[in-house]
Amino acid sequence: MGKLENLVLLAEDELTQYSTDARKIEKLRQKIGLLVPMAEQTQIKQTLQAEMPTDPISKIIENQRQAVALPFWGIAGLGLLLGISFSQPLDFIATAAGGAIAFKVQQLGWQLQAKRLVLQTLEEIESSLKENR
């Protein structure tokens, strides 16, 4: 696993904590400072900037992943309800498809948010180094 993937996993771990973005960045900043040399930090930052999608749908998924996934969870629940109540096995396809899509949307949003947190942290490190010079 590369350093970028490790940093994204660290950011995902920070996202699970209930705290402000500034606190998450500060905690992640300490970890990045210990794990990644400065030369690699700039390389990782450039890689992340190139990887981050710029289309509006991805930005919506990043910022509102739960709201985007909610209709698909509804489709999954409705398929389950109709499949059980009307004894229609084909309705279970809607359950499986809706649940899978909702899960993937949430997973994609979570990863995008973690990458954005790493990018913000790297930018914060870079700006603090420029201020100290």
State the Cα–Cα distance between residues 25 and 20, nearest whole angstrom. Answer: 9
For residue range 42-96, list pLDDT tens digits in order. Answer: 899 999 999 999 999 999 999 999 999 999 999 999 988 988 888 888 888 889 9
Hey, where are the domains in the chain? 3-132
State the Cα–Cα distance between residues 24 and 86, nearest whole angstrom. Answer: 48
| CA triple 58-60-65, angle to 5 deg | 95
**pLDDT above 70: percentage of residues in the chain:** 99
The answer to whether residue 131 scores a pLDDT higher than 90 is: no
State the Cα–Cα distance between residues 94 and 72, nearest whole angstrom. Answer: 9
Q: What is the pLDDT of residue 39?
A: 86
- Global pTM reads 0.87
**pLDDT band at 1, cuts 50/70/90?**
low
Q: Is residue 47 classed exposed, middle or buried when 0-12, 13-18 and 19+ CB atoms within 10 A define those classes?
A: middle
